[in-house]
A and B are shown apart, each in its own frame.
Chain A
Amino acid sequence: MPEVRGSETLRKYEEINEKIGRGEATVLTAEEFVAAVESKGLERAAREVDVVTTGTFGAMCSSGAFLNFGHSDPPIKMWHCWLNDVPAYKGLAAVDAYIGATAASESRGFEYGGGHVIEDLVSGREIRLRADAYGTDCYPRRYIETTLTIEDLNQAVLLNPRNAYERYNAATNSTSRTIYTYMGTLLPNYGNVTFSGSGQLSPLHKDMGFETIGVGTRIFLGGGTGYVIGEGTQHCPQKRFGTLMVKGNLKQMSGRYLRGATFHRYGPTMYVGLGLPIPIINENVARTAALSDSEIFTDLIDYGVPSRERPTVKQVSYRELKSGKVLIGDEEVHSSPLSSLKMAKEVAEVLRDMILEKRFFLNRPAELLPAEMEFKPLLEKSHATVAVGR
């Protein structure tokens, strides 16, 4: 067991990249690596395999894009701004905006949100921009309405504060009516189970020691290349709830891997395709990269209870979840994912092929992500006024 987190005792980043450049690197998807370890043993597989690629394609609500529209003539300091009737955040400079995945259209409601705007933008479709302003001496204009495509923009940066959860809860519902949640439709009386996360393909779970992932790590993001810029919000690695904050150039991404979505009676969101390459730099990394669905567990939570702390029905492996049947008590309950396992596999395979085709090289991060972080709740504090009298 290496003493220093991230120690490169099996191979160094430079060696890996040299091999990639010579077309001699051995790169497997995480599923292929699990199979290789099963047949050859961990030690031999760790010696032979240089990089393991991971992938996930699921709903990632904390996602969005920073856009710069350029200046109109006369110029406007946009105060409120809408893209296809979806409000974007304008508390920045005159023509900088942030469109968030869960914002909803003011004319179409939940059926069209920020994620749909981003999908339309990245797919080259025309977007309607509307903005108003209070007007200043230097920005005299008060209103603008125009159409644009992604090519008209200066910067279009996908910047997602929380992506690629290491794992997520599975969900069920003990109440007597169907409930509609961010974990999908949950039938009454433990009628079904939903889950999210790609299990043995999960980017963060496959480096659960956080030995290779950090600031600057190059990743597959939305069909193009992106970078980890730090831990994501609510990052809690010691409880296996690590997250990533990521960015990338939207102009080189694809609508296949950035999809607007709506959860019925919950709201809009965006599905993001994300893949992490894991260099097998030491034995510990090899061991975590080899974890299979039967060794990756999560909690089956009763979402029927409307409070922050919800009851855990049982611990369940991703193998059981992916089998389509979860045992609750004596009953076999149908289970299905919300994140696409087919697309997760595709992301891992595309990233593998990008590396094999010398179109993607790995990099040592500037700083590893924290391996431990407190995840605090929101406390309701009151400001008591104390009157002191004689």
Chain B
Amino acid sequence: MYKPEHIKRPILAETVLKKKVLLNILEAKVNSQKGELIVSAPLEGEALEDLIRSFEAEGVAVEKLPRIVEIDQEKCTSCGACISPCPVSALSFSSDWSLLLDEKRCVGCRVCVDACPFRAIKMA
């Protein structure tokens, strides 16, 4: 979460160069008052905490998202409409034809949110 004073500096680009980390921007909402980015980083454990501290040191608020999409099991019928449109194959069937979500693969593109006929998928 970026504040107005951050608008003058390319903090994300500086962080990528400084930490040599390949960040993937999944969603960006930036205007003159504030900015909010959803970013995925191929890091875990201490390396991830270090990256978060680096942003926080610049005054950027960071929140770790535990998952990107959520599936409402009450609404889901395991119809499969979400599976083939997913560009990263994050959705699949288990052996009993139940719907499975691989959270690590999800990049938050939202195609499944619209594809679900029962509106059982939403952004977390």
Contacts and interface: CB of A to CB of B under 8 A. Distances in A.
B77 to A, nearest CB: 5
Query: Which size class do A's interface residues fall under?
Result: 20 to 34
Interface string B97-124: 1100000000000010011011100000
A57 B77 contact: yes
A324 B80 CA distance: 10
Given A271-B79, A338-B80, A345-B97, A262 B85 contact: no
A269 B79 CA distance: 14
Contact of B77 (A185, A336, A343): A343
B89 interface: yes
B85 A185 contact: yes
The interface centre, meaning the residue of B81, B85, B89, B92 with most chain A CB atoms within 10 A of its CB, is B81
Contacts of A262: 117, 119
* Of B79, B82, B97, most A-chain CB atoms within 10 Å: B79
B24 interface: no
Interface string A2-21: 00000000000000000000
Contacts of A180: 114
Nearest to B112: A185
Nearest to B77: A340
Given A261-B118, A263-B117, A184 B81 contact: yes
A185 B93 contact: no
Given A111-B119, A264-B115, A342-B98, A336 B81 contact: yes
B89 A339 contact: no
A269 B119 CA distance: 13
A192 B85 contact: yes
Interface in B66-101: 77-85, 87, 89, 92-93, 96-98
Nearest to A180: B114
A339 B81 CA distance: 8
A341 interface: yes
Nearest to B118: A261
Interface residues of B, number: 22
Contact of A259 (B83, B84, B87, B118): B118
Which interface residue of B89, B93, B97, B119 has the most chain A CB atoms within 10 A? Answer: B97
B94 to A, nearest CB: 9
A335 B84 contact: yes
Contacts of B77: 57, 259, 271, 340, 342-343
Contact of A324 (B82, B92, B118): B92
A336 B80 contact: yes
A193 interface: yes
Contacts of B111: 185
Contacts of A342: 77-78, 96-98
A185 B81 CA distance: 8
Given A184-B115, A185-B85, A336-B84, A324 B93 contact: yes
Contact of B85 (A58, A184, A261, A341): A184
A194 B119 contact: no
A216 interface: no
Contacts of A340: 77-80, 97
Given A259-B77, A341-B97, A343-B78, A336 B83 contact: yes
A269 B118 CA distance: 10
A337 interface: yes
Contacts of B89: 334
Contacts of B114: 180, 185, 264
Contacts of B117: 59, 184, 261-263, 269, 271, 338
Contacts of B98: 342
Contacts of A362: none
Contacts of B78: 340-343
Contacts of B93: 324, 341
Interface string A249-268: 00000000001011110000
Contacts of A341: 78, 80, 93, 97
A371 interface: no
Contacts of B83: 324, 334, 336
Given A193-B84, A194-B81, A340-B78, 13 more contacts: A111-B119, A180-B114, A259-B77, A259-B118, A271-B79, A324-B92, A336-B80, A336-B83, A340-B80, A341-B80, A341-B97, A342-B77, A343-B79
Interface of A: 57-59, 111, 180, 184-187, 191-194, 259, 261-264, 269, 271, 324, 334-343, 345
10 contacts: A185-B81, A185-B115, A194-B81, A194-B84, A262-B119, A264-B114, A271-B79, A324-B92, A336-B84, A338-B79
Of all A-B residue pairs in the complex, the 6 with the closest CB atoms, nearest first, are: A336-B83, A192-B84, A261-B117, A336-B84, A342-B97, A336-B80
